[in-house]
């Protein structure tokens, strides 16, 4: 944690709406850790408990019956490393988000937004999400945000794909690049907390110094709303 930058965003609120335990850490764990360290109150919503995940630990020590509880525990530990204040589950079955009544889902997320009053919302892009659950929760969260009508909306992206936004129909002006260099240790700790998923990623378990080299300095977000806080920040 960079103490010099501490609490510069005190009082801000961020709502992250994702599909599975580990989405938050693997995709934008650096950004969550950075803003938590700056005093932002972060609420994470996970639509499912990831109980249909194919990875069961290495060597496998979980099964379909035990996976959900294990992943919930791991997610809580990851939230601790990242500094996420509150974790909420929508209790949707893994791999079925796209089949949930959309109005109901939008309504639940919108209700949460009214309750939490986030300054920034991050979720998946409804077509660039990469997994049907990601796209479905992103679509619902986007619709909920439009109805809520306050703050800023951002879509996560994977790795460095948004170095070339034109490939996806965007321009550099649509992209926010967050420098997470000072928070990579927290991101790595969160990867390790998701043990049953990350055990198969050899690099995660190398010595810290070596493992950290696998994590990029920047995380990229696509603007989902008109407000333009800046090129390198999710907040005004």
Q: Which is nearer to Zn ion, 71 or 81 (CB)?
A: 71
Stretch that binds Zn ion, among 8-16, 18-26, 29-37, 202-210 (CB under 5 A): 18-26
Least distance CB 50 / Zn ion (angstroms): 7
Residue (22 or 41) nearer to Zn ion, CB: 22
Interface region with Zn ion, contact rule CB under 5 A, candidates 15-23, 82-90, 137-145, 149-157: 15-23
CB of 134 to Zn ion, least distance (A): 6
Using the Cα atoms of residue 2, residue 6, residue 9 and residue 10 in order, give the sign of their dihedral. Answer: positive
Q: Which of 13, 20, 71, 187 binds Zn ion (CB under 5 A)?
A: 20
Q: How far is the CB of 95 from Zn ion (least distance, A)?
A: 10
CB of 23 to Zn ion, least distance (A): 4
User: Please, which residues have CB within 8 angstroms of residue 48's CB and are 6 or more apart in sequence?
Assistant: 19, 20, 89, 90, 92, 93, 94, 95, 96, 97, 133
In the complex with Zn ion, which residue's Cβ is closer, 28 or 186? 28
Binding of Zn ion by 23 (CB under 5 A):
yes
125 binds Zn ion (CB under 5 A): no
Exposure string (b/e) for 103-118, b if CB count within 10 Å is 16 or more? eebbebbbebbeebeb
User: Does the bond joining 59 to the residue before it have cis omega, within 30 degrees of 0?
Assistant: yes
Q: Between 26 and 203, whose beta carbon lies closer to Zn ion?
A: 26
Interface with Zn ion by CB under 5 A: which range of 23-31, 70-78, 86-94, 102-110?
23-31
Q: Which window, 20-28, 109-117, 153-161, 182-190, contacts Zn ion (CB under 5 A)?
A: 20-28
What's the token pair of residue 229? 């806080």
Q: Considering beta carbons, is residue 23 or 119 the nearer one to Zn ion?
A: 23
Nearer to Zn ion, 94 or 119 (CB): 94
In the complex, minimum distance from the CB of residue 133 to Zn ion, in angstroms, rounded to a whole number: 6
CA-derived radius of gyration, the chain: 17
Q: Is the separation of the CB atoms in 192 and 158 below 8 Å?
A: no
* One character per residue 194-233, x = contact with Zn ion (rule: CB under 5 A): ----------------------------------------
Residues lying near Zn ion in the complex (CB under 5 A) = 19-20, 23
């Amino acid at each position: 944690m960079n103490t010099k930058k501490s609490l510069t965003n005190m009082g801000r609120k961020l709502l992250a709406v994702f599909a599975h335990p580990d989405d938050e850490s693997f995709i934008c764990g650096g950004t969550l850790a950075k803003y938590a360290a700056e005093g932002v109150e972060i609420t994470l919503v996970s639509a499912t408990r990831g109980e249909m995940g194919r990875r069961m630990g290495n060597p496998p020590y979980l099964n379909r019956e035990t996976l959900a509880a294990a992943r919930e525990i791991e997610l809580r530990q990851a939230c601790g490393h990242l500094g996420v204040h509150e974790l909420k589950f929508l209790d949707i079955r893994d791999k079925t988000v796209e089949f949930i009544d959309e109005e109901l889902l939008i309504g639940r997320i919108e209700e949460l937004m009214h309750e939490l009053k986030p300054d920034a919302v991050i979720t998946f892009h409804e077509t660039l999400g990469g997994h049907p659950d990601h796209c479905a929760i992103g679509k619902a969260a986007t619709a909920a945000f439009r109805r809520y009508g306050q703050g800023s909306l951002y879509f996560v992206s994977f790795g460095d794909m948004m170095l070339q936004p034109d490939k996806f129909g965007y321009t550099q002006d649509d992209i926010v690049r967050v420098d997470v260099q000072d928070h990579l240790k927290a991101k790595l700790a969160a990867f390790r907390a998701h043990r049953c998923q990350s055990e198969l990623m050899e690099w995660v378990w190398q010595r810290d110094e070596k493992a950290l080299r696998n994590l990029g300095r920047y995380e990229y977000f696509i603007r989902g709303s008109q407000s333009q806080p800046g090129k390198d920040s999710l907040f005004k």
